[in-house]
């Protein structure tokens, strides 16, 4: 079993070296790291070119957004196991891929493995929290009650991408629609693990400010409408539950800090 790690970049010179090194340092696995650059104007391409070898490839092209770039990169790779690692994220330790690969090797029918993701502050100085990893027996209920998996913690066999691609008209929530389709529409088999796989900084596209948060929830609503057959009421209800979960988690975190 070999791995393809897909990273999409655009002006990521401040973080790309850490991302590359976290892939390079994975032990006991065979990995090809493919970086798709959408036209960086900073030093990103130069940094990547200085690291190129048979295990690190650079693709330069045009795209219609991050998920179009991901689709293009996946189409140009061929290994059995695939992971998406964003340019400002990194694997939490040197045995992440070995741990996940062991899960696949012990379960030949498994198509997906999902793991915990660790969130750190913008400067990566301290851990904020870890993502939720629901028991697989209750995963669908988790989604219907407004939950979301952290997409960087999802690892798949290539055959998943033979059935599904990311919907490129969704600029923020295409990864969430992909999850809905994986776990609801297709009979993909999956397991969960509490291992922390990826460290991701807070403050993503949908968390930069209140406007971005609203845009993110609107896209989440659109994703549910695509999946639910354009049912506005149920889609809206689920998004409201998602917002309520976010508020609850924020209050829980604030209360925990105050007690310390």
Domains of the chain are 2-209 (3.90.550.10)
Q: What percent of the chain has pLDDT over 70?
A: 89
pLDDT at 125 over 70: no
146-175 pLDDT, tens digit per residue, is 888 999 999 999 999 999 999 999 988 999
Lowest mean pLDDT of 78-87, 99-108, 135-144, name the range.
135-144
pLDDT at 249 over 80: no
1-60 pLDDT, tens digit per residue, is 999 999 999 999 999 999 999 999 999 999 999 999 999 999 999 999 999 999 999 999
Handedness of CA 216, 115, 92, 58 (dihedral sign): negative
pLDDT at 212 over 80: no
Q: Return the pLDDT at 113.
A: 95
Q: Return the pLDDT at 49.
A: 97
Higher pLDDT: 217 or 83? It is 83
pLDDT band at 232 (very low <50, low <70, confident <90, very high): confident
State the average pLDDT for the chain. 88
Lowest mean pLDDT of 63-72, 81-90, 141-150, 162-171, name the range.
141-150
Q: Return the pLDDT at 34.
A: 98
Q: Which helix (H) or strand (E) holds 230?
A: none
168 within 8 A of 174, measured Cβ to Cβ: yes
* Alpha carbon separation from 214 to 76, 176, 183, 196, 220 (Å, rounded): 34, 16, 26, 29, 10
- pTM for the model: 0.87
Q: Return the pLDDT at 254.
A: 62
Three-state helix/strand/coil letters over the chain: CEEEEEEEECCCCCCHHHHHHHHHCCCCCEEEEEEEECCCCCCHHHHHHCCCECCEEEEECCCCCHHHHHHHHHHCCCCCEEEECCCCCEECCCCHHHHHHHHHHHCCCCCEEEEEEEEECCCCCCEEEECCCCCHHHHHHHHHCCCCCCHHHEEEEHHHHHHCCCCCCCCCCHHHHHHHHHHHHCCCCEEEEEEEEEEEECCCHHHCCHHHHHHHHHHHHHHHHHHHCCCHHHHHHHHHHHHHHHHHHHHHHHHHHHHC
Count of CA atoms in the C-beta half-sphere (13 A) of 153:
25
Q: Return the pLDDT at 155.
A: 97
Q: Return the pLDDT at 207.
A: 53
Q: How far apart are CA 179 and CA 177, in angstroms?
A: 5
- Count other Cβ atoms within 10 Å, centred on residue 106: 9
164-207 pLDDT, tens digit per residue, is 999 999 988 999 999 999 988 887 888 888 889 999 987 555 45
Mean pLDDT of 202-227: 75
């Amino acid at each position: 079993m070999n791995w393809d790690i897909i990273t999409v970049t655009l002006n990521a010179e401040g973080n790309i070296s850490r991302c590359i090194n976290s892939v390079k340092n994975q032990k006991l696995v065979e990995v090809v790291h493919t970086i798709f650059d959408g036209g960086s104007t900073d030093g990103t391409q130069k940094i990547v070119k200085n690291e190129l070898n048979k295990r690190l490839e650079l693709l330069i092209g045009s795209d219609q957004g991050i998920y179009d770039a991901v689709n293009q990169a996946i189409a140009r790779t061929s290994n059995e196991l695939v992971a998406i690692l964003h340019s400002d994220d990194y694997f939490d330790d040197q045995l992440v891929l070995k741990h996940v690969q062991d899960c696949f090797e012990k379960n030949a029918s498994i198509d997906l493995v999902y793991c915990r993701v660790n969130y750190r502050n913008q400067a990566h100085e301290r851990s904020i929290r870890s993502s939720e990893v629901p028991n697989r027996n209750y995963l669908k209920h988790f989604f219907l009650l407004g939950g979301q998996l952290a997409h960087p913690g999802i690892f798949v066999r290539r055959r998943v991408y033979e059935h599904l691609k990311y919907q490129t008209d969704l600029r923020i929530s295409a990864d969430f629609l992909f999850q809905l389709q994986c776990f609801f529409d297709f009979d993909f088999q999956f397991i969960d693990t509490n291992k922390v796989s990826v460290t991701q900084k807070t403050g993503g596209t949908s968390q930069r400010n209140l406007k971005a948060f609203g845009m993110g929830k609107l896209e989440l609503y659109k994703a549910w409408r695509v999946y639910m057959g354009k049912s506005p009421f149920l889609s809206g209800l689920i998004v409201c539950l998602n917002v309520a979960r976010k508020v609850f988690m924020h209050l829980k975190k604030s209360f925990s800090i105050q007690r310390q």
